[in-house]
Amino acid sequence: MKEDEALVPGTSNPIEAVRAPTGKRPHDLEDERGDLEGKVAAARKRLKLQATFDTTYWTNAIKVAERELALNDLERKISIKSMNTTHQEWSNSIAGQRLLLKHESFLMDCKIAQEQLDRNKIFEERFGMQKAFAELFIGSPIGWGFANSRGKRDSVLQSAFRAELIERQKSIHPDPDKELLWCPVTSEFWPPSATVAGHLFPWKAGPEAMESIFGEQDTSELFKAENGILWSQEAEVRFSAGHFCIVPDVPNEPTSEEISAWESLEVKEYKVRILNFKHPTMGKKIGLTEKKWFQLDNARVSFQGNFRPRARYLYFAYCEAMLRRAYAGKHFEVAHSEYRQRFWGTPGRYILRSMLRGFVNAMGHDYFHLLEGGVESIEEDDGKMDVRGTLIANEHIQDSLEEEDGDESSDDDEEVEE
């Protein structure tokens, strides 16, 4: 590959595939980035205007992903230049890892869009446009993720969501003179300003997306306590970044008897599993304690009272964490077996099996165990694969990576001010 070429779909290792950055001056690269950002925005706008998920829609979706890849490649070059380091050292840095994860996510966009384009063409040829639309996206406005709730979060809904979580999780400190709230992950009380009502299934996906993944709901649970946890902001940041997940509290290699015992519990218990021991944030102390985040591995999530979030939303978050983990496993210096490790130890009926097939198709058959959390649809299951859940998880990963970029920039600004 030439040094000034952007990565294209199918590239498996950008560190090996792209050699030293171009000899362009920094301001030339910045100008090129600005131009590419404009093209990405224009492509996204065109995609937003699509009303149906036909071949034109998926063709444009591929163009969006390809331009995102090109922009990602340019940002990589700028990042390496600014760090003045080798590719390998850069790839082991936080900035490098984040850009590599974005690269894998955009590659997944390309893969899914191409697969949907190919399927759509076949269905349109055989059954016509209307049948193809019904078969691939039955009544769902999700598409590529642009017809969902990507605006600002409704403050009224969020406030009600937080209040419900505080009440049902019994988060308030028993001493009325202490204005503190309980975080079940850290097992510590925190000032209210240091806590957040976190969503398990992403709120940006919207209620229609939630219904398409989990089935009809009398009342949307997107902003209900069943879809969230009231916890510290420190926990929210690390959970959103995929540094830990929440799974059933059974032994790491449970017997059938241990699984049955957990399933028979009226009130289910869960535990923390650390997915990224080496990340710098996991080596930091928890609040004002001496305990570090990575030491929470296998610790019980200590909910106050008997209320628990729905297992299906925890399982969706787990699938998303595994998708992000699969991306990381392609680049970072860890044993491949570590990235194939299963953390959710119990089978169940959490998400439609066709949706889970979409995840397995995206991650590879090393993650075939995810299907154990599947439920068959009312219709006969003939091996169909639905990519909607994967698209939502992939987009949420991209959002979280963008938020991490913003947090890092804020930290840099604060250091300069000091």
Per-residue pLDDT of the chain (418 residues; tens, 9 = 90+): 333 333 333 444 433 443 344 455 556 777 787 888 888 777 776 666 554 556 777 788 888 888 889 888 888 888 888 888 888 888 888 888 888 888 988 888 888 888 878 876 765 565 444 444 333 443 333 343 434 444 577 889 999 999 999 999 999 999 989 999 999 999 999 999 999 999 999 998 888 888 878 877 778 899 999 999 999 999 999 999 999 999 999 998 889 899 999 999 999 999 999 998 888 999 999 998 899 999 999 999 999 999 999 999 999 999 999 888 888 766 554 434 444 567 888 888 888 888 888 888 888 777 888 888 887 665 545 567 778 888 888 888 888 888 876 665 544 443 323 3
Decide if 262 contacts 249 (C-beta within 8 A).
yes
Decide if 221 contacts 227 (C-beta within 8 A).
yes
User: Would the CA dihedral through 337, 234, 316, 313 be positive or negative?
Assistant: positive
The whole-number pLDDT of residue 293 equals 96
DSSP per-residue string spanning 167-231: HHTT-B-SSTTS--EEETTTTEEE-GGGEEEEESS-GGG-HHHHHHHH---SS--TTSGGGEEEE
Encode pLDDT of 305-360 as tens digits. Answer: 999 999 999 999 999 998 888 887 665 544 344 445 678 888 888 888 888 888 88
Decide if 239 contacts 199 (C-beta within 8 A).
no
Encode pLDDT of 127-139 as tens digits. Answer: 444 444 333 443 3
**d(C-alpha 114, C-alpha 362), whole Å:** 13
The whole-number pLDDT of residue 245 equals 94
Q: Is 305 left (phi over 0), alpha (psi -120 to 50) or beta?
A: left
Encode pLDDT of 256-303 as tens digits. Answer: 899 999 999 999 999 999 998 888 999 999 998 899 999 999 999 999
Q: Which residue has the tokens 């399982």?
A: 315
With 0-12 / 13-18 / 19 or more C-beta atoms within 10 angstroms meaning exposed / middle / buried, residue 337 is: exposed
Decide if 293 contacts 283 (C-beta within 8 A).
yes
The whole-number pLDDT of residue 240 equals 92
How many helices (H) and strands (E) the chain has is answered by 14, 8
Alpha helices in 199-310 (DSSP H): 207-214, 233-240, 256-263
Q: How many residues does the chain have?
A: 418
Q: Which residue has the tokens 């650390």?
A: 274
The whole-number pLDDT of residue 253 equals 85
Tokens representing 380 are 């006969």
Tokens representing 36 are 């590419």
Residue 157, phi then psi, degrees to nearest 5? -60, -45
Look over the chain and give the mean of its residue pLDDT values, rounded to a whole number.
78
Q: Which residue has the tokens 């000091």?
A: 418
With 0-12 / 13-18 / 19 or more C-beta atoms within 10 angstroms meaning exposed / middle / buried, residue 280 is: exposed
Q: Which residue has the tokens 């009380």?
A: 189
Decide if 174 contacts 189 (C-beta within 8 A).
no
136-161 burial, b at 16+ Cβ within 10 Å, e below that, comes to bbeebebbbbbbbbeeeeeeeebeeb
